Amino acid sequence: MGLLPVANAVPAYRDEHLTIDFDRQVAELDATRIVLTRKEYDLLALLVQHAGQIIPRDVLLQRVWGYGAEIRTRTLDVHVRRLRRKLGGYADQYIETIFGIGYRFQPFHAPRYFRQPLKPAFAVGA
Partner DNA sequence: CCTGCTTTTTACAATTTTTTTACAACTCCC
Partner DNA sequence: GGGAGTTGTAAAAAAATTGTAAAAAGCAGG
Binding residues for a copy of itself (CB under 8 A): 3-5, 24, 32-35, 37-38, 50, 53-55, 59, 63, 85-86, 88-91, 99-101, 111, 113-116, 118-119, 121-125
> What are the backbone dihedrals phi and psi of residue 32, each rounded to the nearest 5 degrees, phi first?
-115, 135
Asked if 100 is part of the footprint of DNA (rule: CB under 7 A), the reply reads yes
- CA pair distance 4, 1, nearest whole angstrom: 9
Selected range binding DNA among 10-18, 21-29, 93-101, 104-112, rule: CB under 7 A? 93-101
Question: Can you spell out the DSSP letters for 1-53?
Answer: ---S---S-PPPEE-SSEEEETTTTEEEETTEEE---HHHHHHHHHHHHTTTS
Asked if 39 is part of the footprint of DNA (rule: CB under 7 A), the reply reads yes
Nearer Cβ to DNA, position 9 or 35? 35
Q: Return the half-sphere exposure (C-beta side, CA atoms, 13 A cut-off) of residue 35.
A: 0
Asked if 53 is part of the footprint of DNA (rule: CB under 7 A), the reply reads no
Q: What is the CA radius of gyration of the chain?
A: 17
Shortest CB 9 distance to a copy of itself, Å: 15
Binding site for DNA (CB under 7 A): 35, 37-40, 57, 65, 73-75, 77-81, 84, 97-102, 115, 117-118
